[in-house]
Amino acid sequence: MIALARAFPRRLFVNGASIFAGEASARLATILMAAVIARRFGSGALGEYGYALAITSILLVIPDLGLHLFAVRELSVDKRQLRDLFWNIHRLKFILTGAVIVFALFFGQLIVVDDRRALFYVLMARVVLQTFSQASMTIFKAFERMEYVALQQAFNSIVVVAWAGAALILHARLPFVVIALAVGQLTETLIGWRIIWSRFSPGAVPAWNNKILYTMLGICVPIGITAILEAVNLRIDILVLGSFVSGRVLGEFQAAALFVVACFLIASLTLTVLFPKLSRVLRGQSVQGSAYILSLLKNSLLLTTLGSLVVWIAAPNIIFILFGSDLTSAATTLRILVPVLPLVFLNTILFYVFLAARRRFVCMGTLAVGVGIGLVLCFYLSARYGAAGCAVADVAREFIISGIYLYFLIQGNHARVVGMALLKVFLGATFLLLVAVLLTSTMRHGDQWLAAWIICVLTGTLFSLGLPRRGEWRLLTDDRL
């Protein structure tokens, strides 16, 4: 029992369990809602839902503007900044949210077509509530009291399930079913504010200080732009593909792309737990910081590549179980997207690593290049090959982003060895794949070639970095860091 306690410290275990049990359940309500829509309303309705969700997911990042990550990073180092950070964040957030609401009203009337407009406004209401709920969660995460996040989002999930279930029983229309997400978000927001006032006491509102607000904006704007780019990068395929294909095809692609979103969600939640610790170990150049990054990248890549192979093998069964027989053709798209899963996980980790190391311009520049290249590839390949071409564009985009991140990791002083090893693994696996395609002179069964690429990455990682070690896992869970 003592050895187990050392391997899994209580606070880290509570934080990890809270984040995944609470926040994951609330965010996965979006994915579960997609499954309900697909089964009840069909693939066309799923396409409309996915398009509106893609737009609002990007708009959500604008009022956040990097304020949440900035607050977690600063409060994890000095808790005495709570009062000033809490109130000034909300001042900036009110201004930014107002601008987003005005933009959304005009955008909804001028750009969004009638079939999608109701869903867009419902999901925008959810976004407005969600941004203020996340401000409360920022405090909980910075103080590493993430059981409060779990409490908030457990109630959110309960309300969403109850509302959606009642709506389905009453045979309600699609927008009324989706309102469940907004009602659940309202519940989550109110509970978060209640906990803040009763447990953390942010104190009286400080006087308005332009200098402090401008300083915060100067620090947060690069982080916010980076977060916007990350949101665009994650949703660019849906937005572009929607211009070239029918709602049914878009719904099939949305069903497959939800696995990429889920992978990003798992990576984000994991790094949410580890980010305060990561910010501390990367404050200076140290052997401990390099060892921490090595353990994080190596073990994450091994787990995600194994999981990706499982998804590739079971893709038809997984799609049928989640979305029904109407979307079984989405399994082919999912198999093309499978290499994106480990790449998205790796890129999310590196995003947080550079952010913790205060190299935010690396994140912003890398994602800007990725979004630009991805946009060109998505338009070209989607126009020529539809959903399959869009999926290939996703693979290429995430591969390029990984390469750029690893280049900067090698150029820095944190983890050159692991950066060089992983860059060689990715380039080597890609080279072998291209040679095999050239020798066989065929791209038939392209999804099988992508599965071979994943196997090469898994084998190369094991060969260059070795098997997982107990000491590496103990380092990740060490409460003394």
Predicted pLDDT at 305? 92
Task: Give the orientation angle of helix 114-142 with respect to helix 67-75, to 10 degrees.
Answer: 10
Q: Which of 72-76, 85-89, 417-421, 464-468 has the highest mean pLDDT?
A: 417-421
Q: What is the distance between the alpha carbons of residues 69 and 81, in angstroms, rounded to a whole number?
A: 14
Q: Which residues contact 304 (CB under 8 A, 6 or more apart)?
A: 263, 341, 342, 345, 346
Helix, strand, coil tally for the chain in percent (to 5): 85, 0, 15
Predicted pLDDT at 343? 92
Does residue 183 carry a pLDDT above 70?
yes
pLDDT band of 4, cuts 50, 70, 90: very low
Task: Check residues 436 and 338 and name the one with the higher pLDDT.
Answer: 338
Q: What is the distance between the alpha carbons of residues 143 and 136, in angstroms, rounded to a whole number?
A: 11
Tens of pLDDT along 355-386?
877 787 888 888 889 888 888 998 888 888 88
Q: Cα 217 from chain centroid?
A: 23
The string of DSSP letters for 186-198 reads: HHHHHHHHHHIII
Predicted pLDDT at 199? 80
Tens of pLDDT along 409-420?
888 766 778 888
Q: What is the distance between the alpha carbons of residues 75 and 275, in angstroms, rounded to a whole number?
A: 12
Q: What is the distance between the alpha carbons of residues 158 and 342, in angstroms, rounded to a whole number?
A: 31
CB atoms within 10 A of CB 428: 16
Tens of pLDDT along 140-172?
877 777 778 878 888 888 888 888 888 878 887
Q: Which residues contact 368 (CB under 8 A, 6 or more apart)?
A: 229
Q: What is the distance between the alpha carbons of residues 46 and 56, in angstroms, rounded to a whole number?
A: 15
Query: Which of these, 289, 291, 417, 298, lies nearest to 359 by C-alpha position?
Result: 289
Task: Check residues 128 and 22 and name the one with the higher pLDDT.
Answer: 128
Cβ atoms of 418 and 293 within 8 Å: the answer is: yes
What's the 3-state SS for 215-251?
Answer: HHHHHHHHHHHHHHHHHHHHHHHHHHHCCCCCHHHHH
Predicted pLDDT at 346? 92
State the distance between the two ends of the chain, measured CA to CA, in whole angstroms: 22
Predicted pLDDT at 3? 46
Cβ atoms of 60 and 131 within 8 Å: the answer is: yes
Which two structure tokens, joined as six digits, stand for 251?
A: 């719904």
Q: What is the distance between the alpha carbons of residues 360 and 54, in angstroms, rounded to a whole number?
A: 24
Predicted pLDDT at 401? 92
Q: Is 1 strand, coil or helix?
A: coil
Q: Which residues contact 469 (CB under 8 A, 6 or more apart)?
A: none
Least reliable range by pLDDT among 4-13, 197-206, 240-249: 4-13
Predicted pLDDT at 46? 78
Predicted pLDDT at 446? 58
| Percent of the chain with pLDDT strictly greater than 90 | 5
CB atoms within 10 A of CB 199: 12
Cβ atoms of 349 and 271 within 8 Å: the answer is: yes
Q: What is the mean pLDDT of residues 403-414?
A: 84
Which two structure tokens, joined as six digits, stand for 31?
A: 């994915």
Q: What is the distance between the alpha carbons of residues 399 and 404, in angstroms, rounded to a whole number?
A: 9
Q: What is the distance between the alpha carbons of residues 407 and 356, in angstroms, rounded to a whole number?
A: 17
Task: Check residues 308 and 115 and name the one with the higher pLDDT.
Answer: 308
Query: Which of these, 131, 4, 3, lies nearest to 57 by C-alpha position?
Result: 131
Predicted pLDDT at 344? 92
Predicted pLDDT at 8? 45
The widest CA-to-CA distance across the chain, in whole angstroms, is 71
Q: Which residues contact 385 (CB under 8 A, 6 or more apart)?
A: 392
The average confidence (pLDDT) of the chain is 79
Q: Which helix (H) or strand (E) holds 178?
A: helix 174-195
Q: What is the distance between the alpha carbons of residues 370 and 229, in angstroms, rounded to a whole number?
A: 9
Predicted pLDDT at 306? 92
Burial class (CB in 10 A: 0-12, 13-18, 19+), 99: exposed
Task: Check residues 378 and 21 and name the one with the higher pLDDT.
Answer: 378
Q: Which of 88-92, 158-162, 180-184, 342-346 has the highest mean pLDDT?
A: 342-346
pLDDT band of 292, cuts 50, 70, 90: confident
Does residue 5 carry a pLDDT above 60?
no
Main-chain phi, psi angles of 469, to 5 degrees: -120, 150
pLDDT band of 461, cuts 50, 70, 90: confident
Sign of CA pseudo-dihedral 143, 145, 149, 155: negative
Question: What separation in angstroms does the CA of 389 have from each of 237, 333, 340?
Answer: 10, 9, 14
Tens of pLDDT along 441-454?
555 555 677 888 88
Query: Which of these, 201, 206, 221, 178, lies nearest to 52 by C-alpha position?
Result: 178
Tens of pLDDT along 299-342?
888 899 999 999 999 988 988 887 777 778 888 888 888 999 99
Task: Please report, for the chain, the start and end positions of each structural domain, with discontinuous segments joined by +.
Answer: 1-208, 260-481
In 242-359, where does DSSP find H-type helix?
247-281, 287-323, 330-337, 340-356
